[in-house]
Amino acid sequence: AQSVTQPDIHITVSEGASLELRCNYSYGATPYLFWYVQSPGQGLQLLLKYFSGDTLVQGIKGFEAEFKRSQSSFNLRKPSVHWSDAAEYFCAVAPTGTASKLTFGTGTRLQVTL
């Protein structure tokens, strides 16, 4: 069965600083990979996804992620964080061909200081 690990439960960065959120997955083949963001009291919003092809994926709100097969990682990055980016971020995987059945990581809560 696939699994996702987000080793950082909580991260604090200063506004304007760069950000990297870590995600490692376990799966026999290359899964579909996703990053979602959840603001308090809200549902989840898709930031970006990887299915195949270029391993550097661009998403919304200035986020990008890089798929590294050798490290089974799909880390999320942003060059300059804004205070409005404070939220919880979830990495998720799905078996190829069943993109509805997502397995989520435990999430990383991002705090942004001014």
Query: Which residues sit at the interface with other proteins, rule CB under 8 A?
Result: 32, 36, 41-46, 49, 51, 90, 92, 96-107
Q: Looking at beta carbons only, is 70 or 100 nearer to other proteins?
A: 100
Q: How far is the CB of 17 from other proteins (least distance, A)?
A: 27
Query: What is the phi-psi region of residue 77: left when phi exceeds 0, alpha when psi lies from -120 to 50, beta otherwise?
Result: beta
Q: Which is nearer to other proteins, 34 or 81 (CB)?
A: 34
Question: What is residue 49's DSSP assignment?
Answer: E
Contacts of 55 (CB under 8 A, 6+ apart): 66, 67, 68, 69
Q: What is the dihedral of CA 10, 12, 17, 23, to 10 degrees?
A: -10
Min dist. Cβ of residue 90 to other proteins (A): 7
Q: How far is the CB of 103 from other proteins (least distance, A)?
A: 7
Whichever of 19 and 94 has its CB closer to other proteins, that residue is 94
